[in-house]
Amino acid sequence: MHDDLMERRLRDALRTEGDSLAFTITSGELERRIGLRRRRAAFRPTAVLLAAAVGIGLIGVAGIVGGWFERNPDATPPPPLVAVVGPSPSGEPVNPPRPSASAPARDLPTLEDLIHSGPVDDVVFAQGSGPEDLAAPPDVPVAHRSSVQLGPVPSGLYRVDFGCLSRAGAEETAAVGLVPAGTTADPGPLVPCGGRMTTTTITSDGASALRLTVPGAASWRLVVHAVSDVPALPPATPTRPVSIPGEEVLIDASSPATHAKPGATDAIGEPIDVGQIKFRERYVFRASCAGSTAIAYHNGPYDPSAPFLPESTTLVQCDGAVHEMIWRPGDRPAPDILVTAADGTTWRLLVTADPAPIATTPDDGGWTEVVSSGPRFGSDDLNEALVGRLTGDNALARVVVSCQGGTSVDVSVSRGDQTGDLQRFEAECSDQPSTTVGDPFVSDAQGGFSVDVEPHGRMWTAITVQQAPPSAAP
């Protein structure tokens, strides 16, 4: 009976989908759609993300998501997942078959699917980072681990759904659990990053934060559900986040003046670009909101004319309190930070970083800055280039490298017209800040030059190109 019913519904769904498509399709359009599917990231902030009253509308989503999970024997199992595909003539729910628990997982569910696989009103935190499969990102090894700390976690009992995926599969592990607020200790137990979702329960005493450490190049999904009632008063306005003395403020943004619209739902709206972050070792996100169920903030490139595909997404409750995330990315993050929220939601977002231990070189002794870069923190040995032009005839310039961490920085200076190299040198780096000044060089006839910088290791760098005073010209 269920097989016949499922077959009829699949045929109806396919026929309806086919009727909405054009009769012809070009090869270019096919390539575009394939590319979009490959680029699909951790989160799809469509209008249905937080609409608790809207049905899932996806064939077998809950059953499929259930196939990703392994249960911790000590965990309290969540309610059974049931997917209902449209109105059922028999009045009976349709329960799609679940994959075998022993089958190896090759990818992760989307954060959206995880949130909608059960009730959404009890979601306290949710975070997704990276693509669902390992075919999308470039095969670039990142040895440094990422860490995320969410909190504070109010007192109570919680169910944690977590899974991670790395190229090495189950050979690499992640750790997720509660730690005392303000500490950097790694939690336990270890979870293999083979793409399998796991469920555990945790009990917070109110003075803890949820900490996650994963391989640097891994993707992960994390959804925290409140099992016990967590008291929360629905405030009219959110608490304003404040920075700690000494922190560098990168973004301080708030929602535009809006009013709740009649008939508005808790659906996520269009992304709002709130600014860009610099390359830093450690970021602190502080978010607060009121007026709807939750908001989400995202990190990733944003193009209003293209589908929104963030690299990471963090969802927090709109209970008026300040929710903090401490983030140490394993590799270099995208610069754009965006917020999605329902109409009528009031929110605030503050993004800070630890102050940089080094700086670009100030003007001194007649040497003046032409172009500079940094200070910036990198963990992926990614090269950078500085291009500039000197003023005057036969002008002299020099490259000054400040660094901390890693082992060294290779510097190569060439003519702007690409007619040859001007100089090469190596700047040694260590755990303490150090500065290396390159020999003066003469640019090409038009004053142009290019500086290629190659760092080695997890380190801070600040590069300054200075021009000599006119009296120093040869």
Ranges assigned E (strand) in 90-242: 123-129, 146-153, 156-165, 173-180, 190-192, 197-204, 208-214, 219-226
Mean pLDDT of the chain: 75
Q: How confident is the model at residue 398 (pLDDT cuts 50, 70, 90)?
A: very high
Do residues 50 and 92 both lie within one domain? yes
pTM of the model as a whole: 0.72
Burial class (CB in 10 A: 0-12, 13-18, 19+), 437: middle
**Segment 111-135, tens digit of pLDDT:** 988 888 877 778 889 999 988 876 5
Determine how β-strand 346-353 pairs with β-strand 448-456: unpaired
Do residues 388 and 269 both lie within one domain? no
Q: How confident is the model at residue 474 (pLDDT cuts 50, 70, 90)?
A: low
Do residues 207 and 59 both lie within one domain? yes
Do residues 411 and 328 both lie within one domain? no
Question: Is the CB of residue 457 less than 8 Å from the CB of residue 404?
Answer: no
Q: Which residues of 30-67 are buried (b: 16+ CB within 10 A; e: fewer)?
A: eeeeeeeeeebbbbbbeebbbbeeeebeebbbbbbbbb
**Structural domain of 384:** 368-472
Mark which of 290, 319, 353 sits at the end of a domain. Answer: 353
Q: What is the DSSP string of 404-421?
A: EESSEEEEEEEETTSS-E
Determine how β-strand 197-204 pairs with β-strand 156-165: antiparallel
Do residues 346 and 375 both lie within one domain? no
pLDDT at 276: 92
Ranges assigned E (strand) in 57-108: 69-71
| Within-domain flag for 344 | yes
Do residues 217 and 143 both lie within one domain? yes
Q: In whole angstroms, how far apart are CA 45 and each of 48, 259, 316?
A: 8, 21, 14
pLDDT at 101: 41
Query: Can you tell me which residue has the tokens 């989307």?
Result: 110
Mark which of 312, 329, 353 sits at the end of a domain. Answer: 353
Of the CA atoms within 13 Å of residue 430, those in its CB half-sphere come to 4
What is the tally of structural domains in the chain?
2
pLDDT(241) > 80: yes
CATH code of 383's domain: 2.60.120.260
Do residues 316 and 395 both lie within one domain? no
Query: Can you tell me which residue has the tokens 């309190």?
Result: 321
Q: Give the max Cα distance, the chain.
A: 93
Mark which of 324, 353, 382 sits at the end of a domain. Answer: 353
Determine how β-strand 190-192 pairs with β-strand 173-180: antiparallel
**Segment 72-93, tens digit of pLDDT:** 544 444 333 222 222 323 333 3
- The rounded distance, in Å, linking the Cα atoms of 312 and 111 is 10
Strand partners, 402: 435, 462
Is the pLDDT higher at 451 or at 133? 451
| Within-domain flag for 363 | no
pLDDT(334) > 50: yes
Q: What is the DSSP string of 286-317?
A: EEEEESSSEEEEEES---TTS----SEEEEEE
Nearest residue to 370 (alpha-carbon basis) of 384, 355, 385, 389: 389
**Of the ranges 43-52, 351-360, 461-470, which one carries the lowest mean pLDDT score?**
43-52
Q: In whole angstroms, how far apart are CA 249 and each of 277, 278, 280, 349?
A: 10, 10, 12, 11
Do residues 275 and 179 both lie within one domain? yes
Do residues 374 and 349 both lie within one domain? no
pLDDT at 380: 65
Q: What is the DSSP string of 325-347?
A: EEEE-SSPPPSEEEEE--TT-EE
